[in-house]
Structure 1
Amino acid sequence: MKQIKKDNPKLKVEASGWIVAVGISLVLLVLVLGFSFFSALRESQISSRQTNLNKQVEIAGKDLQRNFESMYEDMLFFVNNLEPWTYDRTGNEQLAFEKRARRIFNNHREVLDSIIVSFPRHHVSFHFDRQNNFIRSSYNSVESLPKISDNSINLVNATKGVSIHVKVNFNRYFRAQLSNYYLGSTGEKIIWINGEYIVFEDTYERQNLDINGSINQTIATDISEGLKGYVSGKVNGLNQEEKPIKATVHYYPFSLNPFDKKFAVIFAQDISNIGFDIYNTYFYLLLGLAVLLMAVIIFLYKFINNVQLANTKLAESSEEIEELFRRQTLLLQESKGFIYFQNADGNMTSVGREVKDVLGYETEEFLENFKSYMKVEDRYTLLKEIKDVLNEQKEVLATEFNFKKKSGEWVRVKIFEKFIYDSNGTFQGNVGICTDIQDRYEAEQELKRSENRLRAVLNSLPDLIFIYNNEGVFLDYYVQDRSLLMMPPESTQGKNFRDIMPEPVKSQLVSAFDKVIHTGKGQTLEFEIMLPLGKRIFETRLFKLDDQRVISMAREITGQKLWEKGLQEAKEAAEQANRAKSEFLANMSHEIRTPMNGLLGILGLLENTQLNRKQLEYIQVIKDSGKSLISIVNDILDYSKIESGMMDLNLSVFNFPKEIKSTFRLFEGLIKEKNINFSCKLDEDIPDFVQLDKDKIAQVIYNIVGNALKFTPDGGKVKVEVTAEYFMNDNVILEFSIQDSGLGIPKEKISSLTQPFVQVDGSNTREYPGTGLGLAISKKLIELMGGDLNIESELGIGSVFTFSVFGTVKKNADKPEVHEVRSNKGNELSYENMANQIPLDILLVEDNDINLTFMRMTMEQLGYKLDVARNGVEAVEKVKTKTYDLILMDIQMPKMNGLEATRQIRKMNHASTSEIIGLSANAFKEDVQNALESGMNEYLTKPIGIQDLARLIREKFEHKKKEA
C-alpha cells in the first residue's frame, strides 16, 4: 500500500500544486515584507529628521530672542548712562561717548541699522556704510532728523533729558542668525511675523511660500498661544517648486521686546523623497530574499510530512485556545467592555455578547442600530476622526463619546480600534473594544471642577502666584495686577527665574528656593525691587506644591511697611514727647520749689522774730499761699508719675484704725468752721495692722473726704464708713464709703469727673477753687492698689463715693517695722542750742543765692556756721582738704552736679563717714533713687523747713552715737 502511494502520479501532482501554491504565497509574503520594511525605514528616517528639526528650531528661536534681548539691555544701559552735557563740552567726553556707540554697534552689528541720540541741544546719528565705515552725522533740530520707521525703538531718560532712537534691520538680523543652521538642499528657513511667512536664503529673502489652510491655521493658533510644535502636509513654493510638496514644518515662537508683534522661527523640510535613495540596496535585498525563498520551497517537502504532526498538536492545543477565549471574556466582563468588528463601509459585522451586560442590547439589535445610540454630534466627530486616521493611514484610534443604554441612560465609553489594510494600503475594516468608563469619567469631571474651583480661588487672590518645576523654570502663573511685574508673565514661561530676576533679589530667591527643594519646608523672605511704577516691597512665601513643583506667593507690602515705619516714628515721637514732658515737669518742679524753698524758709525764720499780730497774719497768708502752690505742684507731679507708669506702691505695715483717725484729725478745723455733722464708723472686723502704702491711702482719703467737706454747705452732714472682707487667709478688701449732703453732681458730668483738670463748675466765677486733679489722682491710686472708684450723686441731695483697696493682714505686729518715704512734715521739734548738743562741721553746696541765704540763716538759728561751695567742683576741692561731718548737697548745679560730686567724694577714704544729704526740687522717685545710688545717705525735697533739718541732724547723729 505504501509503494502504491509513493508512485501515484495524482498524489505527486497534488503535492506539486500544493508546493507551487505555497511558493507563490511565499513570494507574495516576501513582497509584503519588503514593502513593510521600506515603509518602516522611511518612517524611521522621517522621525529622525523631525527630531533633529525640533531641536534646531528651538535653539534658533531661543538664540534670536536672547541676542535681541542682549541688544535691548545694552541700549537701556547706554541711554541710562548718557550725560546731557556730552556735546556741550570739548575733550574726552565726546570721544568716550562715540567709542561706546561704536562698541555697541560692533556687538550688535547684525540687528542695528542706525541709532539717533538726542541731547537737549544736539542730535547725532550713527551707522555703518557699505564700505564698513562708522559714520556719525549731526543735526541742528528735531525736524531735520531722519524719518522714523516702524521697526524702531525709542528709549528715553527723562531725568537727564536724553533719548535714543534705535532703527532695527530685522531681515539682516534674521538672515545672519539663521545662517548658523544647515537644513540641506531640501530645507527652508522661515520667519513668521504676524501671519506672514518670509523665507531666508543665505543672501536674500522671499515671500512666495504658500501653506494650505488647515496647516496654516494650526501654525497661527499655536504661535499666538506661545506653543511650539510641528505639522506635516502639502506646502506650495517650498524650494521654489511650483507643485505642492509634502513637508514637515517645525515652528518655535519667540518675542522681541519691546515689539508687540508675534514672531516665530520655522524650519520646513521636504520629506516626499525620503527613503527612495536606498532603492538600489533594497533590490539587492529582494534578490537575497528570493534566494532564501527557493531554499524555503526546498524545505517544504519536509514541511508536508510534518503537517499531520502539526495538526495533531493543534488539536491538543484547542483546549488551551478555548481557555484563552474564556479568559478574554472574563477580562471584558471585568472591565465592563465588549469586542466588535466592522467592515470597510463602517457597518458592524460582529459584536461580543458582553454588549448586553454593558449597554443592555442584544447582539442583533446592536449590530443593526448602533449608530442611532450615539449623539449626532458625537457621530460626526467620530466619523471625522476615522477619516483623519484613514487619510494618514494610521493603524489605531482611541477616543471617547457617549452611548445611550437600552434603559435610556447615557454612559461614557472609550473605544480602541485597530485598522486593517491590505498590501496596497486599502482599508479592509477594523476591530475594536468598547469599554464603559462612566465612573472614571465622573471622577475626572469632578477633578476638573475641583481644579477650576482652585484656579478661580487662585485667580481671585491679590498675590502674585507663580509655579515652577524643581529646576526653577516657570510653568504657570496667576496674576491680577500686572503692573506689579517686571515683564509680562507669559513671556517668562519656559524660562528659569535665575535668568530673569535681577540682583540682589535673585540671590535671595535662589537661597530660599534651594532650601525648599532640599528641606521641603516653606520659606518666607522680603525684598525690594524696582518696577516701572517705582520701588516696591514684597513678602514672598515659597513652598512645595508636590514632588515636581514649587509655588511662590508674593504680596506687595509697601503700604504696610510705610505704615509700620510711620507707627515706629510715631512711637518714637511719643516716647520723645513723654521724655520731654518728664524733663519739663522736673524742671518746673525745680524752678518752682527752689524759690519757694527760700521764700517759705525765710518766712519760717521771720515767724521767730518779734512781730505784731497784723504782721503775723500777713506772714500766715503768704505761707498758706506758698503751701497751696506747693500742693498744686505736687498734684501735677503725682498725676504725671501715675500717667507715665512711674508711680509704684511703697508698702509698709502700720496701725490702720490709728492712721485713719489721724488723717481725719486734719479736717477738725474745717469741720468746726462749717459746723458739719461728721461721723466715722469703722467695722469691728477691721484689722489692727495691715500692709499697704500708708501715704497713698492717706492721700486718697484726704482728697475724697476733703472734697466732701468742701462741697457740703454749712450745717451739712458727712458720713464715712469702712468695712472689711477677708479672702484667701490673710488678704483683706477694705471698703470705704463717703456720703455727703452737698450740692450733688449732674449725671452727665459724673463720668468725666475723674478726668484730669475737670471740675463740675469749670467757669472762672466758680465758688470752689482747685486744680481738678484730686479725684483723678485718687482714682489712679485706687486702681494702683487693686480697687475701683464709684460715684453716685443726685443734685440737691448729695453724693456717695465708694472705693476699695486690697491689703494684707499682719498679726502680732504691735511694733511693726515701718518702711516709708521720709516726709518733710512732722510734729514740732526743739532745735535751740542744737550746735552745742551736736557739734558738727557742715559743708553747704548750693548755687542759688536765695537758697544760700536761707540755709545760712536757718543753720545760724541752729547754732551752726557753714562752709560754702557754689558748685560740685568747689565741693570736691574743699573735701580734699577737710573732713566734714555733714554735707548738704544741691543736685542741679553748674560745672559739676551734686550726683557726680558725691561720687567723687565717696572715692576719698577720709570722707567715707561723712553724711551727705541731697537737696533738690525734683520729687520724682527716680531722682531719689539716683541720689541714693550715687552715695548720698538721705534726700530732702525743697522747700525745706528748719524743723526738717533739725530732725534729720538729730536722727542721723544720734543713730551714729548708738552705733559707736
Structure 2
Amino acid sequence: MKNIQSKFSKNYNNSYRWFVVTGILVLILTLFLATNFFYALKESQLEARRQFLNKQVELAAKDIQNRFSSTYDDLVFFVNNLEPWTYERDDDEQIAFEMRSRRIFNNHRNILDSLIVIFPSQSVSFSFDEKNNFIKQLSYSETKLPIQKENHIFLENQSKGVKIVGVVNIDRFLGDELGNYYLGMSGEKLLFKNGELYGLTDYLPTRGFMISPLSFEPIKKDIKNGLKGGYSGVFVNEVEGTSYESIIYQYPFSLFPLEIPLAVIFIQDKNEATSKIFGTYIYLLIGLMFLLLMVILILYRFIRNAQESNDLLEEKSEKIEELFRQQSLLLQESRGFIYFQDANRKMVRVSSEVKEVLGYESDDFVNNFPKYIPEDQLKVLIDRIDEAIVNHKESFSFEFDFKSSSGEMIRSRAFEKLFYSEMGEFTGNVGICTDINERYISEQELLKSNNRLIAVLRSLPDIIFIYSSEGIFLEYYIQDESFLLKPAQTSLGKSIMDDLPNPLNQQIMEGFEKVKSTGKIVTLDFEIESQAGKKIFETRLFKLDEDRMISISRDVTGQKLWEKGLQEAMEAAELANRAKSEFLANMSHEIRTPMNGLLGIIGLLEKTNLNTKQSEYLQVIKDSGQSLSFIINDVLDYSKIESGMMHLESSVFHFKEALEKILKIFSGMVQAKNIKLSYQFGPLLPEFIELDKEKLGQILFNLIGNAIKFTPSNGEIHLYVYGESFMEENIIVHFSVKDTGIGIPESKIKTLTEPFVQVDGSNTREFTGTGLGLAISNKLIELMGGELRIESEENKGSVFSFNVFGKIYIQEEKVLGYNSAVEESFVWEKMQKKYPLRILLVEDNETNLKFMQMLMKELGYKITLAKNGLEAIDTVANHDFDLIFMDIQMPKLNGLEATKIIRNLENKLYIPIIGLSANAFQEDINEAISIGMDGYLSKPIQVKDIALTIKKIYELKTKKEANQ
C-alpha cells in the first residue's frame, strides 16, 4: 500500500500540468463531433420520415383494396345464393331476402350508394335517403341492366337468371379510407385518379393540387406500370396558396372489377420534417457543453483532493491490507459474496458479486438486506448471532433462504468472522455468503423421493418385499399378513431358498436370475395356501437399484375366477348368437319358399279371367301375403341390426329424383284416403349425393307409411328436406314428416321406438302392424349418423324429423352392373317370341317347380328342369343354355357349389346364372355374386322380376353377339 501512495504523489504534478491542455483539446473535439452529429441526425430524421411515408402509403393502398375486395366478395356470394322465385312465393322468403340485402348494404354503407337486384320478372332496388331511412323500390315491369358506368359493379348468376348492380360512391369511399391516416401538420394525402391529382377537403377528393412536372412525370409513369416509388419535388396547394420542397411516396392499386387507374400519394414538407431538430439540438449542445465544463471542474477538484487523500491513505493502508487478506480467505469458498457489518450489525459494505448471486445492486442490498430473508429464518439468524457474540465466538455459520431479485428463493450458507476490541466489546464482522441452492435442492429432492417411495409402498394393497441382490429379505410393506404363509417379520435376514417352500422358492429364484441378467421386469403367477385360504398371486420382480431387488405381489384370485366365468359366458353367447342366426336363416327359407309359390300363383291368377268377386278375394289373399312378407322382412332386419350385422352400402344417386320416386309409390294410398301429400326441398341440397339409398328409402317408407296410416281422410302430410354442409364435401340432410293425424299421447312417445311397441297394443286396436317399423327406422338413422325426434299432440298431428350424414358430389357417378328394377310399362305375357332364350331351372321344391312351370308357360317358354346341383351340372355339360335360374338350398349339392363347378366346365361358353333363394340377408347375396352368379332374386319372387331378368339377359346376349 505504501508503494501505491508514493506512485500516486509522483504522478500528481504531471497530471496537473496536462490537465489544462487536455481540457482545451476535449472542448475542440466536442465541437467538431457536435457539428457532424447534427448533420448525421438531420439525415437520419429525413430517412426515418421517408420510411414512415413509404410504409403508410402502402398500408393505405392495401387497406382500400382489401376493403373494396371484401365488398365485391360479399356481392358475389349474395348473387350466388339468390333464388329467382323469391317474390313468387310466401312472404317469409321475401323477408329473408330483404334482410340479407339490408345486411350487405349496411356492412358496406360507405361504398355502396344503392343496390339493384334484377329477377326474371321484376327488380328491386335498395338505398338510403338523406335522413338515413332504408328505401326499397319494387318494379314489376320488364327490367333491363342500367347503362354501364365506371362506378357500377355488375354481377350475374346465369344458372338462375338473377343479376345485381352495385352503385359505388368512389369519392366518398376513398375519402373516408384516406381520412383514417394522420401524417402530421405538414403532411398531405393525395389521390391519383384517371391521370389527375386530388387532395382531401372534408374527406372528399378535390382538385387544386399539383406536383412539379419534373417529379410528376416519373410518378405517372410508375403508376401506369404498377410500380410504387419515392421522389423529391415541389408540392403546390392551390386551395391554400402554399408550396414547399417535399418528400413524395406513391403506391398504385386497383378496385376490381372497376377499371379506374388509382394510386395513393403521401407528401411531407422536407424542411418541416427537420426543423424541430435544430432547436432541440442547440439546447442539447448547450447542455453538453455545460456538463463538459462541470466535468473539467470536478476533475480539477478531484486531483486537488487526491493529494489531500494521499496523506490519509498511508494511515489506513494497514487496515485495508487486512481486509483484503480476509476477503481472499473468504472467497476461497464456493460462489458467493463478501459483506461488512459494524458493531450495531448494520451492513456497511458488500462486494459486487452480490449482483451475480442474488441479482441486487450493492447499494440496494446494503440498505434492504433484512427484507430479502424470510421472517421466521431472520429471527433464528439474529438469535444465533446474539448467542455467538455473548459467547465471544470468533466465527459461526448458518444456512437460510435469500429471496433473489427474480422472486426465487435461493438456499445460502453464511460464514462470519466476528471482531472484538481489547475490552472484549463486539466491533463488527465480515462474512461471506455462498449460494448452495443446487446442492440443497438435490438433497431435498432425494429426501422427498425416498419419502414418496415409502408412502407409496405403504399405501399399496399389494404384498411388497425388498431383497438383497442375493435374495435375502431386507424390508417388507404389507397391509394384511393373512395373505402370507407366515408372519413377515420371521423372514427378515433369511434367503428365499431357505424361507419359502418348494417349488415356490425355485420359481422365484429363477425369476431373480432372469431379472439380473436382462434388467427387465419378470412376471410370475403362482398359487399358495395362505393363512386366509388358497390364493392366486401375480408377482412382478425388478431391480430397485444396483444392490437391491423388489417383488410386488397382487391377489388376483377373483380376477382369475371372473376371467374364467367371462370366457365361459362369451362362448355361450357366441353359441346362442350362432344358433339365432341359423334359426333366422332357416325360418326365412322355410317361410319364403311357400310364400314364393303363393304370391307367384297369385300373380298368374291376376292375368286370368276373373269375375269381380274372385278379384276381390284374390286381392285379399295378395295383400295378406305381402303383409306377411313385410312382417318377415321387419323381423329379419331388426334381428340383423340387433346383432350388429347391418352395414351401410353407400352409392351415388340423384337425390331429388330418388325422393320423388319414393313419394310416387304412395300416390295410390293417398288418393284412396283423399289425403294431400306435399313436399318441399329447402336450401343447400346438392344434385347428387352419396349415402345408403336403400336404407334411406326404408326409413321414409316407414315414416310416410305410418303418417298415411294414422292420418284420417281429407288430412295433410308434408315432407320438408334441407341440407347443412360442413367440412367442404360433407352434408347433413334434415328430413321432417308432418301430418294432421290422430297424434300420439305424450306418455307413449319415449317408448315408441322400442321394438314391438304400439300406441294402441290392445286386441281391439284399429291400426295393425308389428310395431317394428319405427324401431328399425330409429336404428337405421343411428347407423347413418343421425337422430330421430318425435313431436306430437293428440288429435292435432305429429312431426317425425331426423337427419343423416352424406357426401356431396358435383356430377353423377354411374355404376355399371345388373339392375332388376321393375319397369311398369313392360308387357311380359307371351314374351318368348320377342326374347327367345334356352332356360334351365334348378329347383327342388315341388310348389316352386309348379309355379315356375306355370309362369314360364305364361311367358311362352319351354324350360329344362333339374332338381339339385348334381343334375344341373350334368344337364349343362350335355346341353347349351342361354340362362340358368339356380335355387340356393338343395339336397345333394347346393346352388353355390354347383355354380362353382359350372364356371369351371371346359368347352362351355359363359352362361348367366341368376340365384333364387329364400335367404334375404345381404351377406348371402354378396356370397352368391362373389362365387360367380350374375344376379340374385329373393323369394317370394315377383312375376315381373323374372320377366325383366329374362329381357335383360336377352339384350346383353344380342349386344355381345353384335360386337363379335
TM-score (norm 2): 0.51
Does the aligned pair in 2 maintain the 1:871–1:894 contact within 8 Å? yes
**Displacement of 1:446 after TM fit?**
13
Q: How far apart, in 2, do the equivalents of 1:632 and 1:521 lie?
A: 62
Determine the structure 1 residue equivalent to 2:714: 715
Q: After the TM superposition, which residues 733-744 of structure 1 pair with which residues of structure 2 at under 5 Å, given as runs?
A: 733-744=732-743
Determine the structure 1 residue equivalent to 2:890: 893
3-state DSSP of counterpart to 1:832: coil
Determine the structure 2 residue equivalent to 1:847: 844
Determine the structure 2 residue equivalent to 1:905: 902
| Paired AA for residue 849 in structure 2 | L
Matched, 1:878 2:875: yes
> Does the C-alpha gap of structure 1 residues 653 and 355 become closer, same or farther in structure 2, counting only changes over 3 Å?
closer
Q: How far apart, in 2, do the equivalents of 1:652 and 1:447 lie?
A: 65
| Paired AA for residue 603 in structure 1 | I
Does the aligned pair in 2 maintain the 1:355–1:362 contact within 8 Å? no
Determine the structure 2 residue equivalent to 1:830: 827
> Does the C-alpha gap of structure 1 residues 592 and 791 become closer, same or farther in structure 2, counting only changes over 3 Å?
same
**Displacement of 1:784 after TM fit?**
2.6
Determine the structure 2 residue equivalent to 1:953: 950
Determine the structure 1 residue equivalent to 2:854: 857
Determine the structure 1 residue equivalent to 2:648: 649
Determine the structure 1 residue equivalent to 2:687: 688
**Displacement of 1:629 after TM fit?**
0.7
Q: How far apart, in 1, do the equivalents of 2:385 and 2:727 lie?
A: 87
> Does the C-alpha gap of structure 1 residues 451 and 603 become closer, same or farther in structure 2, counting only changes over 3 Å?
closer
Determine the structure 2 residue equivalent to 1:288: none
Q: How far apart, in 1, do the equivalents of 2:922 and 2:858 lie?
A: 31
Does the aligned pair in 2 maintain the 1:792–1:799 contact within 8 Å? yes
Determine the structure 2 residue equivalent to 1:148: none
Q: How far apart, in 1, do the equivalents of 2:941 and 2:925 lie?
A: 16
Q: How far apart, in 2, do the equivalents of 1:573 and 1:933 lie?
A: 32
**Higher alpha-carbon deviation: 760-769 or 637-646:** 637-646
Does the aligned pair in 2 maintain the 1:462–1:480 contact within 8 Å? yes
Determine the structure 2 residue equivalent to 1:335: none
3-state DSSP of counterpart to 2:497: helix
Q: After the TM superposition, which residues 228-307 of structure 1 pair with which residues of structure 2 at under 5 Å, given as runs?
A: none
Q: How far apart, in 2, do the equivalents of 1:958 and 1:623 lie?
A: 31
Determine the structure 2 residue equivalent to 1:493: 492
3-state DSSP of counterpart to 1:806: strand
Q: How far apart, in 2, do the equivalents of 1:626 and 1:575 lie?
A: 34
> Does the C-alpha gap of structure 1 residues 547 and 688 become closer, same or farther in structure 2, counting only changes over 3 Å?
closer
**Displacement of 1:923 after TM fit?**
0.8
> Does the C-alpha gap of structure 1 residues 450 and 865 become closer, same or farther in structure 2, counting only changes over 3 Å?
closer
3-state DSSP of counterpart to 2:464: strand
Does the aligned pair in 2 maintain the 1:833–1:863 contact within 8 Å? yes
Determine the structure 2 residue equivalent to 1:776: 775
> Does the C-alpha gap of structure 1 residues 663 and 819 become closer, same or farther in structure 2, counting only changes over 3 Å?
farther
**Displacement of 1:357 after TM fit?**
7.4
Determine the structure 1 residue equivalent to 2:570: 571
Q: How far apart, in 2, do the equivalents of 1:503 and 1:862 lie?
A: 87
**Displacement of 1:831 after TM fit?**
2.3
- In our comparison, the structure showing a higher alpha carbon Rg is 1
Q: How far apart, in 2, do the equivalents of 1:504 and 1:863 lie?
A: 86
Q: How far apart, in 2, do the equivalents of 1:487 and 1:501 lie?
A: 10
Q: How far apart, in 2, do the equivalents of 1:588 and 1:357 lie?
A: 102
Determine the structure 2 residue equivalent to 1:250: none
> Does the C-alpha gap of structure 1 residues 453 and 780 become closer, same or farther in structure 2, counting only changes over 3 Å?
closer
Does the aligned pair in 2 maintain the 1:541–1:552 contact within 8 Å? yes
Size of the alignment, in residue pairs? 534
Determine the structure 2 residue equivalent to 1:612: 611
Q: How far apart, in 1, do the equivalents of 2:664 and 2:547 lie?
A: 87
Q: How far apart, in 2, do the equivalents of 1:718 and 1:497 lie?
A: 84
Percentage of identical aligned residues: 56
**Displacement of 1:890 after TM fit?**
1.1
**Displacement of 1:520 after TM fit?**
4.0
> Does the C-alpha gap of structure 1 residues 599 and 547 become closer, same or farther in structure 2, counting only changes over 3 Å?
same
Does the aligned pair in 2 maintain the 1:652–1:819 contact within 8 Å? no
**Higher alpha-carbon deviation: 459-468 or 723-732:** 723-732
Does the aligned pair in 2 maintain the 1:906–1:912 contact within 8 Å? no
Q: After the TM superposition, which residues 249-648 of structure 1 pair with which residues of structure 2 at under 5 Å, given as runs?
A: 458-501=457-500, 505-506=504-505, 508-529=507-528, 531=530, 535-648=534-647
**Displacement of 1:603 after TM fit?**
1.3
Question: Which of 917, 921, 931 is 2:918 aligned to?
Answer: 921
Does the aligned pair in 2 maintain the 1:824–1:940 contact within 8 Å? no
**Higher alpha-carbon deviation: 453-462 or 716-725:** 453-462
Residue deviations 1:783-819, cap 9 Å, x none? Answer: 2333222111222322111112223333344xx5146
Determine the structure 1 residue equivalent to 2:155: none
Determine the structure 2 residue equivalent to 1:934: 931
**Displacement of 1:952 after TM fit?**
0.5
> Does the C-alpha gap of structure 1 residues 857 and 356 become closer, same or farther in structure 2, counting only changes over 3 Å?
closer
| Paired AA for residue 761 in structure 2 | G
> Does the C-alpha gap of structure 1 residues 784 and 446 become closer, same or farther in structure 2, counting only changes over 3 Å?
closer
**Displacement of 1:626 after TM fit?**
0.4
Residue deviations 1:879-906, cap 9 Å, x none? Answer: 3333332222111122221111211222
> Does the C-alpha gap of structure 1 residues 818 and 356 become closer, same or farther in structure 2, counting only changes over 3 Å?
closer
Q: Which runs of 5+ in 1 are unaligned?
A: 1-326, 328-353, 364-442
| Paired AA for residue 517 in structure 1 | K
Does the aligned pair in 2 maintain the 1:683–1:723 contact within 8 Å? yes
Q: Which runs of 5+ in 2 are unaligned?
A: 1-328, 330-383, 394-441
Q: How far apart, in 2, do the equivalents of 1:474 and 1:616 lie?
A: 97
> Does the C-alpha gap of structure 1 residues 554 and 358 become closer, same or farther in structure 2, counting only changes over 3 Å?
farther
Q: How far apart, in 2, do the equivalents of 1:449 and 1:929 lie?
A: 66
> Does the C-alpha gap of structure 1 residues 912 and 926 become closer, same or farther in structure 2, counting only changes over 3 Å?
farther
Does the aligned pair in 1 maintain the 2:724–2:732 contact within 8 Å? yes
Does the aligned pair in 2 maintain the 1:646–1:925 contact within 8 Å? no
Q: How far apart, in 1, do the equivalents of 2:690 and 2:451 lie?
A: 71
**Displacement of 1:684 after TM fit?**
5.7
Q: How far apart, in 1, do the equivalents of 2:842 and 2:896 lie?
A: 12
Q: How far apart, in 1, do the equivalents of 2:874 and 2:502 lie?
A: 65
Does the aligned pair in 1 maintain the 2:868–2:890 contact within 8 Å? yes
> Does the C-alpha gap of structure 1 residues 444 and 639 become closer, same or farther in structure 2, counting only changes over 3 Å?
closer
**Displacement of 1:532 after TM fit?**
6.7
> Does the C-alpha gap of structure 1 residues 578 and 824 become closer, same or farther in structure 2, counting only changes over 3 Å?
farther
**Higher alpha-carbon deviation: 553-562 or 778-787:** 778-787
Q: How far apart, in 2, do the equivalents of 1:881 and 1:640 lie?
A: 44
**Higher alpha-carbon deviation: 883-892 or 596-605:** 883-892
3-state DSSP of counterpart to 2:666: helix
